[in-house]
């Protein structure tokens, strides 16, 4: 290569393969993905490539998406639950540019959803693939900094250290103080980092009909959850796993069952709480749900109060925010709101044995 | 979220324009060319080639121009380009004993075959500004009259700004410049370098994930592309007390080495061209063990371009990382391969440190909720306790 060579200027795409990565690299990643799916929750080392986006900015998720995306796919990219956060925009543009990707904001329309820090509120369906961007794939890293040791701990399922850490949390603070990246037990075998999603989202992973893939680019690890895999958030019988709750509904769409972001709206300490899942919130507003502050927000031009486009494909009903999505429609006692996913897990395992 | 980032796409595109504008600076000042950077900022280009793991001075200069001189950003550009290049083979091992020497110094011997060759170095400059560089073009002489100039042989002008390039009594260098560790090795005093069994092809950490403990080929490769500042700090720590090394610079050599490649269809080596390399071999004491007699051990550093600081730092850390091979306890950061290899990569480190700029409000909301609840519960508990106190007093 020399500087005299003419560089592709406007038409940059022919210089790169479809979806940026060369086919050999894609095959290498797919092999890692297959292994990961075969051993749910196990971290498969892979030859993570250097990407034109910065490490820590989603290069693992981007490589996974690049390895699985095809012309028939529809891609949704979210960061913090929203489609319009800057890095989500940047990654979406990357795939629009390199893979001519058809993109969407509608959760139900997407075949691949690449995400950072959230799982959409709308339930996922069979055939969809979640791709998680993972900064630290090793759930034990904060307990043991050496990779050579943590790999042994996983191999021997030596997870006492993690239980002790959770216990110490409870002894000191009365509860487990991990609010995101809350460790989960996969299929009764591997402890896995769910990526920094809030623990609110953990129950959504359990028995999900969608395929869930996790890519950690900087740490060079891939792991996966095949559809209908048990995902148990670690807890104790007398201190069951709980998820976050809010005292007020979303100020824009009045949802009571979604994860809310807090927005400081003046310098007097006033706050409003709004859905972190921007598509979920817009869909509800399009359906006529109105939150208490929707008028104010519309006046100041921050939101369109009545989006004209009806967002298709969302047939959700309001549900109990504390309940595991897999329990929906099971007619369970609504009083068991603060239950852990553990009971469900036990049922599945019992079912598998019988 | 809707308040802060609606219109994110337009804002992102606008930042691209703003960065282009900032890069150009004042339009009244002539623009710097890539060739100028390549020729006049060669040490910066060398660092970008090292940390970008790609030997291409033109691209390094372009990367520096595009990155406004930000070396890590420039290395990132190099790597993101390098990763797309097809691999059509590996070169033959280079032979630094056959280097066309530009500079070669040894701290272990006063004189040796081939002699000491100072070459271009800042080592003995006084770090005083040469204001002639501010105004004058084509300053090809150092700020002080040279030794030959003082002799009056070439009549250097005392006015200073009209310096005359003196005639140096440069003698042609010896064609044979044996590497110092080889001299020690011939006596059996130096730890021999033996290729691992079967002499396998070195690991490629840009294509395969690293596992630990890492072998020496992986460690050297990681350090060759590692951050100069990080390795410098680690090397310094080894010298200062966070490591038990007593190093001597066996030799530093800088010069050109030819790269050869054997195409499968030809079956013989073809010369691809020359690259500039800096090699440093550190000689360290080793007291010996039950099986091994006392001998000197080696720390090795190799870097693209004229990069002495990098090669020296690397060779210090290389020796520290060999503690496992010599049965020494790994007590210090520079001796721990996971610590050194994972954290020396500045492109990865910069990405992860800087990702903290990305929105984290979902996680932060979780923390807010938790801390508010714990504080509330604590306040309630304290209130109950103070209410209960008078009773206890009774």
Note whether B105 and B55 are same-domain residues: no
Note whether B106 and B230 are same-domain residues: yes
B3 touches chain A (CB under 8 A): yes
Instruction: Name the pLDDT band for B114 (thresholds 50, 70, 90).
Output: confident
pLDDT surpassing 70 at residue B6: no
Return the pLDDT at A39.
Answer: 98
pLDDT surpassing 50 at residue A12: no
Note whether B32 and B106 are same-domain residues: no
pLDDT surpassing 50 at residue A15: yes
pLDDT surpassing 90 at residue B233: yes
Q: Residues A117-154: pLDDT tens digits?
A: 999 999 999 999 999 999 999 999 999 999 999 999 99
Structure tokens at B375: 């504080």
The conformation of residue A136, written as its DSSP 8-state character, comes to: -
Note whether B105 and B76 are same-domain residues: no
Domain segments of chain A as ranges: 16-233, 246-314
CB B360 within 8 A of CB A261: no
For residue B94, how many other CB atoms are within 10 A of its CB? 16
Q: If you average pLDDT over residues B193-197, what whole number do you get?
A: 85
Contacts of A170 in chain B (CB under 8 A): none
> Which of A43, A50, A89 should be substituted to probe chain B, the one whose Cβ sees the most B Cβ atoms within 10 Å?
A50
Note whether B188 and B306 are same-domain residues: yes
Domain assignment present for B25: yes
Whether the CA torsion A300, A305, A309, A310 is positive or negative: it is positive
Task: Please name the member of A48, A57, A177 whose beta carbon is closest to the beta carbon of B355.
Answer: A57
Model-level pTM?
0.82
Greater confidence (B362 vs A38) lies with A38
Note whether B30 and B106 are same-domain residues: no
> Which residue carries 């009365």 as its tokens?
A174
Return the pLDDT at A306.
Answer: 52
**Prior bond of B80 cis (ω within 30°):** no
> Which of A23, A51, A80, A266 should be substituted to probe chain B, the one whose Cβ sees the most B Cβ atoms within 10 Å?
A80
Q: Residues A302-332: pLDDT tens digits?
A: 666 554 444 443 333 333 334 333 333 333 3
Return the pLDDT at A347.
Answer: 45
Domain A16-233: which CATH number of 3.40.1190.20, 3.50.30.30, 3.40.50.11310, 3.40.50.300: 3.40.50.11310
Return the pLDDT at A175.
Answer: 87
pLDDT surpassing 80 at residue B154: no
Cα–Cα distance measured from residue A165 to residue B370, given in angstroms and rounded to the nearest whole number: 17
Beta strands in A54-128 (DSSP E): 74-79, 102-103, 112-116
Which domain does B39 fall in, by range? 2-82
CB A211 within 8 A of CB A227: yes
Q: Residues A195-206: pLDDT tens digits?
A: 999 999 999 999
Beta strands in A12-104 (DSSP E): 44-45, 74-79, 102-103
B230 touches chain A (CB under 8 A): no
Domain assignment present for B208: yes
Residue of A nearest to B349 (CA): A55
Instruction: Name the pLDDT band for B342 (thresholds 50, 70, 90).
Output: very high
Residues of A recognised as catalytic: 41, 250, 253, 275, 281
Q: Residues A229-282: pLDDT tens digits?
A: 999 999 999 999 999 888 889 999 999 999 999 888 888 888 899 999 999 999
Instruction: Name the pLDDT band for B353 (thresholds 50, 70, 90).
Output: very high
CB A137 within 8 A of CB B340: no
Note whether B324 and B219 are same-domain residues: yes
Structure tokens at B383: 């209130």
Could you give the angle at the alpha carbon of B258 between the alpha carbons of B254 and B346, nearest 5°? Answer: 60
Instruction: Name the pLDDT band for B325 (thresholds 50, 70, 90).
Output: confident
Within 13 Å, how many C-alpha atoms sit on residue A265's CB side?
14
The conformation of residue A17, written as its DSSP 8-state character, comes to: B
Domain assignment present for B250: yes
Domain assignment present for B73: yes
Residue of B nearest to A136 (CA): B352
Query: Mean pLDDT score of chain A, rounded to an integer?
Result: 83
Domain assignment present for B39: yes
A126 to chain B, closest Cα gap in Å? 26
Return the pLDDT at A10.
Answer: 47
Beta strands in A8-66 (DSSP E): 44-45
Q: Residues A268-285: pLDDT tens digits?
A: 888 899 999 999 999 999
């Amino acid at each position: 290569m020399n500087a005299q060579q003419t560089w592709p200027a406007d038409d940059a795409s022919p210089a790169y393969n479809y979806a940026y990565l060369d086919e050999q690299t894609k095959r290498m990643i797919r092999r890692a993905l297959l292994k990961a799916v075969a051993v749910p929750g196990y971290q498969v080392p892979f030859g993570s490539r250097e990407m034109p986006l910065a490490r820590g900015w989603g290069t693992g998720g981007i490589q996974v998406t690049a390895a699985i995306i095809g012309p028939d796919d529809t891609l949704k990219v979210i960061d913090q639950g929203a489609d319009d956060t800057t890095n989500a925009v940047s990654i979406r543009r990357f795939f629009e540019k390199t893979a001519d990707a058809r993109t969407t904001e509608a959760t139900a329309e997407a075949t691949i959803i690449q995400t950072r820090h959230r799982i959409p509120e709308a339930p996922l369906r069979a055939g969809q693939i979640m791709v998680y961007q993972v900064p630290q794939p090793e759930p034990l890293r904060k307990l043991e900094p050496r990779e050579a040791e943590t790999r042994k701990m996983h191999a021997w399922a030596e997870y006492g250290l993690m239980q002790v850490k959770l216990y110490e949390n409870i002894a000191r603070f009365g509860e487990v103080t991990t609010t995101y990246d809350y460790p989960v037990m996969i299929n009764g075998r591997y402890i896995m980092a769910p990526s920094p999603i809030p623990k609110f989202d953990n129950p959504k992973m359990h028995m999900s009909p969608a395929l869930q893939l996790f890519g950690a680019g900087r740490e060079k690890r891939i792991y996966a959850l095949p559809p209908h895999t048990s995902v148990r958030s670690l807890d104790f019988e007398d201190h069951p796993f709980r998820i976050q709750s809010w005292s007020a509904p979303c100020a824009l769409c009045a949802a009571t069952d979604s994860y809310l972001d807090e927005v400081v709206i003046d310098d007097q300490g006033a706050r409003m709480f709004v859905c972190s899942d921007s598509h979920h919130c817009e869909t509800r507003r399009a359906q006529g749900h109105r939150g208490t502050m929707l008028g104010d927000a519309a006046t100041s031009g921050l939101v369109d109060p009545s989006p004209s486009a009806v967002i298709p494909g969302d047939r959700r009903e309001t549900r109990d925010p504390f309940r595991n999505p897999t329990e929906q429609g099971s007619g369970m006692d609504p009083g068991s709101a603060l239950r852990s996913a553990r009971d469900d897990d036990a049922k599945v395992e019992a079912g598998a044995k019988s | 979220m809707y308040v802060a980032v609606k219109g994110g796409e337009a804002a992102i595109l606008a930042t691209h324009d703003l960065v282009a504008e900032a890069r150009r600076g004042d339009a009244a000042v002539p623009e710097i060319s890539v060739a100028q950077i390549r020729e006049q900022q060669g040490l910066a280009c060398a660092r970008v080639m090292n940390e970008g793991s790609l030997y291409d001075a033109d691209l390094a200069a372009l990367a520096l121009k595009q990155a406004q001189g930000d070396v890590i950003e420039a290395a990132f550009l190099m790597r993101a380009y390098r990763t797309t290049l097809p691999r059509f083979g590996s070169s033959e091992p280079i032979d630094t004993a056959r280097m066309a020497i530009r500079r070669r110094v040894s701290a272990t011997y006063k004189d040796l075959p081939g002699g000491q060759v100072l070459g271009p170095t800042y080592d003995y400059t006084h770090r005083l500004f040469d204001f002639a560089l501010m105004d004058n073009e084509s300053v090809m002489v150092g700020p002080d009259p040279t030794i030959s100039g003082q002799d009056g042989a070439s009549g250097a002008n005392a006015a200073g700004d009209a310096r005359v390039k003196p005639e140096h009594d440069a003698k042609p260098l010896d064609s044979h410049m044996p590497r110092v560790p080889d001299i020690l090795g011939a006596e059996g005093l130096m730890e021999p370098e033996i290729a691992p069994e079967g002499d396998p092809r070195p690991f490629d950490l840009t294509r395969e994930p690293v596992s630990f403990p890492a072998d020496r080929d992986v460690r050297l490769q990681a350090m060759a592309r590692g951050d100069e500042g990080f390795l410098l700090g680690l090397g310094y720590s080894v010298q200062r007390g966070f490591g038990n090394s007593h190093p001597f610079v066996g030799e530093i050599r800088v010069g050109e080495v030819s790269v050869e490649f054997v195409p499968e269809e030809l079956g013989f080596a073809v010369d691809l061209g020359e690259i500039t390399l800096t090699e440093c071999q550190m000689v360290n004491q080793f007291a010996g063990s039950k099986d091994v007699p006392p001998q000197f051990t080696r720390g090795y550093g190799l870097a693209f371009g004229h990069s002495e600081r990098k090669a020296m730092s690397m060779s210090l850390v290389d020796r520290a990382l060999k503690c496992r091979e010599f049965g020494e306890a790994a007590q210090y950061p520079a001796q721990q391969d996971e610590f050194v290899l994972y954290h020396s990569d500045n492109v990865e480190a910069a990405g992860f440190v800087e990702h903290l700029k990305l929105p984290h409000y979902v996680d932060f909301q979780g923390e807010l909720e938790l801390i508010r609840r714990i504080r509330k519960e604590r306040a309630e508990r304290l209130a109950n306790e103070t209410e209960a106190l008078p009773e206890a007093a009774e």
